[in-house]
Amino acid sequence: LAVALGALTACTPSRENGDPVPGIVPAPVSFEPTDAGEFALTERTRFVVDGDEAARAVRPFAEGARAATGWELPVERVGGEASASSEADGDDIVLALDESVTGGEEGYAFESGRDGVRITAPAAAGLFRGTQTLRQLLPPEIERTAASTPAGGWTVPAVSIADAPRFEYRASLVDVARNFMQPGDLLDHIDRIALLKLNVLHLHLTDDQGWRLQIDSWPELTGIGASTSVGGDGGGFYTKADYRRIVDYAAERFVTVVPEIDLPGHTNAALSAYAELNCDGVAREPYTGIEVGFSSLCAAPERAEATDRFLADVLGEVAELTPGPWIHVGGDEPLATPHDDFLDLVGRITKAGAATGKTVIAYHEMGASNEMPPGTIGHYWDLTASHEMPANRRDEPVRPYPESAGQARSFLEQGGRLILAPADVTYLDMMYPDRPAGPLGTELGTRWAATITLEQAYAWTPETTIGGLELADEQILGVTSSLWSETIETVPDFEFMVFPRIAATAEVAWSPADARDEAGFLARLGALGAHFDELGIAYRKVGGVDWA
Ligand code: TNX
């Protein structure tokens, strides 16, 4: 990518004349204001597309724009890119496939001006990403679900953009196990992460406090295991129909769902549902606290039949429901699993995962094993090597565990790549340092890794995250922004912790390393805040940003 785009200069939007900066987050690879004149979306505007792929890519944006404007905004199919452009009028938005646009499937080129908007890309995914840039360039009223007319009209500044992601995996992790999230709220979240060009929804579906996905062959996983959550205030789970709806809604926005079944620790909900998964054959009590590291699947031979059948059935059903290429099998904090048992279970778990045909993702602890299926992806969640923020109840900064870097390296040695999710800069359940009350007046979050400002969420470099490992971009599959939900029970609380810090991680994951510019980011984010307002997001208006 760096080579393909070498001729383009990365730059941050800025205006010398004091006009507001367009709120494009993450920053595009290249962005040039032009003198092509403003584009205006009008009641005559059509989406002129060159085929089914472009029609599919524009659908979510078109539906939103119809609701916000009250206009018909039809999709018109014409043959081929050239005719798409030649049949378009100045009001039109053209989307066309074009193999010559560089940057991979998600790359796109964008031109706006008085003659129309033109988005070209080699694949539908890139066209969709381009529509999200258009969404950010339009007045924030574009987010409304009832028709209105913005004061200055539906205008878009004249710009020329070439864009493509730095990393191919850009995830938002939502922990629906500690506290459940209703399907409709997850759909809203998918739409918002798509606005930030994230492309993976990682669902942490199981943990000690709850099992959140229907599994037909082991019905008590939800029958018993879904009835609890942190604090004991009810539970919840996704039926297979709910899950398919989430997957489909995400796919329409070119977001891939990565399901996580956390194994062999973090399994109290399963151990409470099925006695035969426990070494002593006694079902565990449901758990509603927030400790970690006390539960484990059983490695003993007398439980091997039940445990292996559980692994094959559960991972098989999850994979069958999941169109994306990945399945996440957890592996974190195996503190209740003796080391040899852990190595044995990692082999069996990752083999069962790979038997589904998916690429397995596992937390870095599983790198203790050198018998994972080749190409297994490691998900590193320990601290950044340069971590210097004091954590909870300590005067001294905590440090990454000494073994974490080697465990991460082990995935590379076994033919895999890494996902980076360092807790001290990407864990959005970490408090803001000034510990503000949340929207509902309660204190939110924890501080075991750090407290995290917006600037700290922005100022880290994926390639130097892991001590002693200088990673090449090719070794990094991507980056994850995580919201663990032990202290987060409501949607406003979720939004307050996630936004705006997730936007910083989105830019780390998408924008070229040399385009990183904190001042530019804060300025663009301020403009984008108007979109957050229209979306009704209860985001934290952190200091240091000139919120629109
Ligand atoms: C660590 S990081 C966990 C989670 C907790 C989180 C709280 C990881 C893979 N495990 O079980 O929810 O910290 O910040």
The DSSP-derived string for 307-327 is HHHHHHHHHHHHHHH--SSEE
Lowest mean pLDDT among 86-95, 145-154, 477-486: 86-95
Name the residue type at position 172: S
Pick the residue whose CA is nearest to atom 6 on ligand 1.
484
- Ligand 1 atom showing the smallest separation from residue 178 Cα: 12
Lowest mean pLDDT among 2-6, 213-217, 309-313: 2-6
Angle between helices 240-252 and 183-195 (to 10 degrees): 20
- Ligand 1 centre distance from Cα of residue 222 (Å): 22
User: Residues 205-233: pLDDT tens digits?
Assistant: 999 999 999 999 999 999 999 999 999 88
Which position has the higher pLDDT, 390 or 340?
340
Residue tagged 């406090």 (tokens) = 209
pLDDT for 5 equals 35
- Ligand 1 centre distance from Cα of residue 484 (Å): 7
Pick the residue whose CA is nearest to atom 2 on ligand 1.
381
Q: Angle at the Cα of 492 (from 491 to 495), degrees rounded to 5? A: 85
Q: Global pTM? A: 0.95
Neighbours of 437 (CB within 10 A): 10
For residue 186, report the phi and psi dihedrals to the nearest 5 degrees. -65, -40
pLDDT mean across residues, the chain: 94
517 lines ligand 1 (CB under 6 A): no
Which two three-digit tokens encode residue 383?
């601290």
Pick the residue whose CA is nearest to atom 9 on ligand 1.
332
| Residue 333 annotated in active site | yes
Domain(s) of CATH 3.30.379.10: residues in the chain? 30-163
- Ligand 1 atom showing the smallest separation from residue 421 Cα: 2
- Ligand 1 atom showing the smallest separation from residue 381 Cα: 2
pLDDT for 536 equals 98
429 lines ligand 1 (CB under 6 A): yes
Domain(s) of CATH 3.20.20.80: residues in the chain? 169-517
Spatial separation of the C-alpha atoms in residues 429 and 432, rounded to whole Å: 9
167 lines ligand 1 (CB under 6 A): no
Which two three-digit tokens encode residue 519?
């001042």
pLDDT band at 20 (very low <50, low <70, confident <90, very high): very low
Spatial separation of the C-alpha atoms in residues 312 and 320, rounded to whole Å: 12
Are 284 and 275 in contact by the 8 Å Cβ rule? The answer is no
Residue 533 pLDDT exceeds 70: yes
- Ligand 1 atom showing the smallest separation from residue 427 Cα: 14
Report the percentage of the chain scoring pLDDT > 90. Answer: 90
Task: Summarize the confidence of residues 434-457 as an average pLDDT.
Answer: 94
CATH class of 169-517: alpha beta
Task: Out of 333, 455, 463, 518, pick the active-site residue.
Answer: 333
Which two three-digit tokens encode residue 534?
């229209």
Per CATH, the homologous superfamily of domain 30-163 is Chitobiase/beta-hexosaminidase domain 2-like (3.30.379.10)
243 lines ligand 1 (CB under 6 A): no
Which two three-digit tokens encode residue 495?
């939004």
Beta bridge partners of 119: 95, 110
Burial zone of 169 (CB within 10 Å; 0-12 exposed, 13-18 middle, 19+ buried): buried
Task: Give the side-chain half-sphere CA count within 13 A for 15.
Answer: 14
Pick the residue whose CA is nearest to atom 13 on ligand 1.
484
Task: Summarize the confidence of residues 145-150 as an average pLDDT.
Answer: 97
Ligand 1 mutation pick, 178, 381, 404, 419, max ligand atoms within 8 A of CB: 381
381 lines ligand 1 (CB under 6 A): yes
Residue tagged 């489909």 (tokens) = 248
Parallel, antiparallel, or unpaired for β 30-33 and 159-163?
antiparallel
- Ligand 1 atom showing the smallest separation from residue 290 Cα: 12
344 lines ligand 1 (CB under 6 A): no
Pick the residue whose CA is nearest to atom 10 on ligand 1.
332
Spatial separation of the C-alpha atoms in residues 225 and 274, rounded to whole Å: 9
Ligand 1 mutation pick, 207, 333, 335, max ligand atoms within 8 A of CB: 333
Pick the residue whose CA is nearest to atom 5 on ligand 1.
484
Residue 9 pLDDT exceeds 80: no
User: Residues 41-75: pLDDT tens digits?
Assistant: 999 999 999 999 999 999 999 999 999 999 999 99
Residue 391 pLDDT exceeds 80: no
380 lines ligand 1 (CB under 6 A): no
The DSSP-derived string for 457-519 is HHS--GGG-STT----GGGEEEEEEEE--TT--SHHHHHHHHTTHHHHHHHHHHS-GGG--HH
